[in-house]
Amino acid sequence: MENAKTPSTRGRRTDYGHTERFDLNCTHTLYGLTCEAYDALRDRAEDACEICRTPDHQTTRGKLVIDHFQGAGLFFVRGLLCDKCNSVMSRHDRTAPWGPASLPFKEKARAYHLDAWDKPTAEELALADEYIQSRSTYSPIGFPSPRPKIHVRTGKPYVRLDQGTTRIAQKLRKYLSPEQLARVIALLAADDV
């Protein structure tokens, strides 16, 4: 009997994102990877995170995640990462702040980005870098962002706690009826909530 670590009868490792079910697609197809390309990507990574080299079975999920870049009209797969290094790449992409635990990986993250699996051209990498640099610097709660964040579907600014209580109160008054607003005030004033 075959265990999960041995190749399937079709020659693919079923524990690496492939499916034998006819009614399901392999998850890597969501990233535009064929089964053969995904196997080649796994071989390049040597079944370990491409930044920190943690073996896949020692990661939090017990498997690696497909990391990709998306923005400025570009989409390319960069490689396979553990959850922690995937978080590092969100710092590289400026969607989260660098911190003491992630900062030591800054240079490795840059080198990994430049060695993306999909081999973007120099022009595409320059466009990706320009897009990353154009993102507002992450700001923690309580400090205003340099640019308001706009919701993709509605086109309206997000209501965020860092915009202050006055802005939140204005939004509540705009969208709640007087009865609903009175109920919210009563709930906020109650000691037993």
pLDDT at 81: 94
Q: Based on the domain organization, do 108 and 119 belong to the same domain?
A: yes
Higher pLDDT among residues 127 and 135, named by residue: 127
Phi and psi at 63, nearest 5°, equal -160, 165
Q: What is the pLDDT of residue 22?
A: 58
19 pLDDT more than 70: no
* Residue of 62 and 54 predicted with greater confidence: 54
Gap between the Cα atoms of 131 and 188, Å rounded: 42
Burial of 72-87, coded b for 16+ CB within 10 Å and e otherwise, reads eeeebbbbbbbebbbe
Looking at residue 155, its pLDDT comes to 61
pTM confidence score: 0.61
Question: What is the average pLDDT value for the chain, to the nearest integer?
Answer: 77
Number of domains in the chain: 2
**Domain extent at residue 30:** 1-138
* Same structural domain, 79 and 169: no
Which of 121, 138, 155 represents a domain boundary (last residue)?
Answer: 138
Lowest pLDDT segment from 137-141, 144-148, 182-186:
144-148
